[in-house]
Amino acid sequence: MSTEMLITKAGPSRWYQLDRSRWYDAGLGIGSVIALFVLWAVAAVITNHHHAGLVPTPVQVAKTLANLTTHKFAGHTLPMHVLSSLSRWGLGFVFAIVLGVPLGILFGAIRLVREAVSPIFEFLRYIPPFAWIPPAVLWFGSGQTSQALIVFIAAFPAIVISTQVGASNVDPALLRASRTLGAGALRRLGEVITPISLPGVFAGVRVAASNGWMALIAAELIGGRVGVGFLIAQGEDNGAIDIVMVGMLAIAVTAAILDLVVIALSKRLTRWRKSAA
Amino acid sequence: MPTLADATTTAHKNGNGDTAIGARRRNRRGLGNFEQWRRFAIGLASFVVAIALWYLATDGLHLVEPLKLPSPVSVAQRLQRMAVHPYVRHTLWGHASASIQVVLLGWLAGGLVGAPAGVMMAWSRRFRAVTYPVFHILRPISPIAWIPLAVTWMGIGVQARVFIVFIAAVVPWVVNSMEAVRSVDPMLVRASRNLGTSSLGTLWRVVLPASLPTLMAGARVALGNAWTSVIAAELLAATSGLGFVALTAANALDSKTTFGAMVVIGAIGFLLSALMRAVAKLLAPWAKGL
């Protein structure tokens, strides 16, 4: 049994560490990933006997991926579909930040506002972002505007709430001190409240980025003329499962890249945290 | 797979909102009774004001056309009618219970697979070495992206939706179960082993009770994710359910039904979360701030 790591080592950081047999463990991991692909290939070969194309082989998917980078499907190449989705994601996301951060700071700073508005926000959060797709269709049809709106709705609450939590973390003593030292309201906002709440804000931004991306994909699956979600929907309609899988891959990779960008940005903007700690 | 319901508090743990440790911190105890009542009163008042504003914008002053935003009265009336008269084959209750059934099935399946897997990933290093890379490769594929594949493989029946909900729920189940076991004080484990308890005995009698509160919080996050994803799945692959009702009505420009369905979706989401909190309190009464 591998409980030895529990017993011989103290401190929670040790739980994550690999030591002597790290190569052995890495080998197991690589082996299981290879096994996953082998299983996939076997499943593809078996199902192809009865339903051709229902499960494409990994090789087929890789070929389709290479093909779609240069050849158009559903009107555009894969990179163009991804960029098109990203543009709508960016639009909704930027709006969510521009409106959400000030609102969150307001909630955090004024207690009565927070207490009055947060129950409504709490309730709205229980409505999944996808549930806003039908009303967005009612309001704007199923075009680009309604998709950007979906991204906004999916991203907005996470940003507002995390900003509010971040802003209400500010020690009132610090505010009083800076006030005594002559800082005006704007300076207190810029030099005290913003730096202190920034890490919390970024936590929300990270969730918001991923929420918005997922909601956009759902919206594109339901209606649209361009985008990765649309690409997948078209692949499904044409019975081209390899294209569906390529689209899934593109969605996951884009989501991972967006997440990395937000993390990098947050590290960059809160560099002072480490030096302070 | 993030859920809005736990977005803020879990975010700092991992960006996907799968971890529940933060969620447990939300409701701190120790508020005075008066303070609680004050908050409740303010919250209630703001709800009343919000609905009053909604009414004024629609029936009161006719600022918005009913197609874009129906009045609260007409939505309530529509819900009342749907409770008795079927809308696309089922009454409101039929659609709601269709959604809830899919959620519970997928969530349970996610728990049956995810919770033991997560516990084992934290407990056994070899198990983790084998399973974690595969989990890590599959995890970034969002449940939404699985929908077309599920529909192709399983049709638009219940299986496809349960599969989607399973994918959405299993990730927080695994992540939180792993986190729950990892957060157990190693001293407890060493003491138990020293006193002669076997490895499995320690897991069962020491680690699991100690990690139960986090496990329960993870179950709640998983249920929230499940509820979110079932709505998405119903938009694309269903002939019943509240998400299906909302979209069908929107396509027919029947805004009252769309908004009625959304109100019910929000209410059930809230009830599921409250229910999970109550169950967690019952099962792990020693946990603070659940």
What is the reported pLDDT for A100?
92
Q: A226 by DSSP, 3-state: which? A: coil
What is the reported pLDDT for B16?
41
CB < 8 Å from A in window 146-175 of B: 146-149, 151-153
Which of A207, A192, A236 is CA-nearest to residue A73?
A236
The token pair that represents A273 in the structure block:
């945290």
Find out whether A139 and B68 touch, Cβ atoms under 8 Å. yes
Query: Do the Cβ atoms of A133 and B15 come within 8 Å?
Result: no
Q: State pLDDT tens for residues A251-264.
A: 999 999 999 999 99
% of chain A with per-residue pLDDT over 90: 30
% of chain A with per-residue pLDDT over 70: 91
Domain spans, chain B: 28-64, 72-283
Residues of A in contact with B127 (CB under 8 A): 2
List Cα–Cα distances, B259 to A133, B71, B227, in angstroms: 11, 10, 18
Rounded-to-integer distance, Cα B290 and Cα B286, Å: 10
Q: Is the pLDDT of residue A4 over 70?
A: no
CATH class of A68-276: mainly alpha
Neighbours of B44 (CB within 10 A): 11
DSSP notation for A49-116: HHSTTSS--HHHHHHHHHHHHHS-BTTB-HHHHHHHHHHHHHHHHHHHHHHHHHHHHHHHH-HHHHHH
Report residue A19's pLDDT band, with 50, 70 and 90 as the boundaries.
low
Q: Is the pLDDT of residue A17 over 60?
A: no
Residues of B in contact with A133 (CB under 8 A): 235, 247
Neighbours of B204 (CB within 10 A): 12
What is the reported pLDDT for B239?
87
Distance from CA of A105 to the nearest CA of B (A): 14
What is the reported pLDDT for B168?
94
Q: A218 by DSSP, 3-state: which? A: helix
Rounded-to-integer distance, Cα B126 and Cα B39, Å: 50
Find out whether A65 and A82 touch, Cβ atoms under 8 Å. no
Q: Give chain B's radius of gyration (CA, Å).
A: 22
Q: A151 by DSSP, 3-state: which? A: helix
Q: How many residues does chain A have?
A: 277
Find out whether A137 and B250 touch, Cβ atoms under 8 Å. yes
Rounded-to-integer distance, Cα B28 and Cα B24, Å: 8
- Residues in Cβ contact with B138 at an 8 Å cutoff, skipping those fewer than 6 apart: none
Query: Do the Cβ atoms of B152 and A247 come within 8 Å?
Result: no
Query: Do the Cβ atoms of A117 and B46 come within 8 Å?
Result: yes
Residue for token digits 């509240």? B242
Find out whether A208 and B15 touch, Cβ atoms under 8 Å. no
Instruction: Determine the average pLDDT of the residues in A213-227.
Output: 89
List Cα–Cα distances, B27 to A58, B23, B151, in angstroms: 47, 8, 40
Find out whether A240 and A80 touch, Cβ atoms under 8 Å. no
Query: Do the Cβ atoms of A54 and B9 come within 8 Å?
Result: no
Find out whether B287 and B213 touch, Cβ atoms under 8 Å. yes
CB < 8 Å from B in window 166-225 of A: 199-200, 203-204, 206-211, 213-214, 217-218, 221-222
State whether residue A70 sits within 8 Å of chain B by CB: no
Query: Do the Cβ atoms of A131 and B182 come within 8 Å?
Result: no
Rounded-to-integer distance, Cα B142 and Cα A85, Å: 16
Rounded-to-integer distance, Cα B2 and Cα A145, Å: 24
Instruction: Determine the average pLDDT of the residues in A121-139.
Output: 86
What is the reported pLDDT for B1?
39
Which of A206, A92, A214 is CA-nearest to residue B10?
A206
pTM across the whole model: 0.83
What is the reported pLDDT for A266?
87
B264 to chain A: closest CA residue: A127
Q: State pLDDT tens for residues A223-234.
A: 888 899 999 999
Q: What are phi and psi of B90, to 5 degrees?
A: -125, 155
Find out whether B274 and A122 touch, Cβ atoms under 8 Å. no
Rounded-to-integer distance, Cα B222 and Cα B219, Å: 5
A134 to chain B: closest CA residue: B247
Average pLDDT of every residue of chain B? 84
Q: Max alpha carbon distance in chain A (Å)?
A: 80
Rounded-to-integer distance, Cα B128 and Cα A77, Å: 39
Angle (CA) B64 B67 B68, round 5°:
55
What is the reported pLDDT for B262?
93
| Side chain identity, residue A274 | K
Query: Do the Cβ atoms of A125 and B228 come within 8 Å?
Result: no
CATH fold of the domain at B72-283: MetI-like fold (1.10.3720)
Query: Do the Cβ atoms of A134 and B202 come within 8 Å?
Result: no
List Cα–Cα distances, A273 to A146, A190, A265, A269, in angstroms: 39, 16, 14, 9
Distance from CA of A181 to the nearest CA of B (A): 33
Query: Do the Cβ atoms of A165 and B9 come within 8 Å?
Result: yes
State whether residue A113 sits within 8 Å of chain B by CB: no
What is the reported pLDDT for A255?
92
Q: State pLDDT tens for residues A86-95.
A: 999 999 999 9
Q: Is the pLDDT of residue B24 over 50?
A: no
DSSP notation for chain B: ---GGGHHHHHTT-TTS---HHHHTSS-S---HHHHHHHHHHHHHHHHHHHHHHHIIIIIT--S-TTTS--HHHHHHHHHHHHHS-BTTB-HHHHHHHHHHHHHHHHHHHHHHHHHHHHHHHH-HHHHHHHHHHHHHHTTS-HHHHHHHHHHHHTTSHHHHHHHHHHHHHHHHHHHHHHHHHTS-HHHHHHHHHTT--HHHHIIIIIHHHHHHHHHHHHHHHHHHHHHHHHHHHHHS-SSSHHHHHHHHHHTT-HHHHHHHHHHHHHHHHHHHHHHHHHHHHH-TT-S--
Residue for token digits 């006997």? A49
The token pair that represents A191 in the structure block:
């030099």
A245 to chain B: closest CA residue: B149
Domain spans, chain A: 4-55, 68-276
Instruction: Determine the average pLDDT of the residues in B219-231.
Output: 92
What is the reported pLDDT for A72?
86
Report residue B140's pLDDT band, with 50, 70 and 90 as the boundaries.
confident
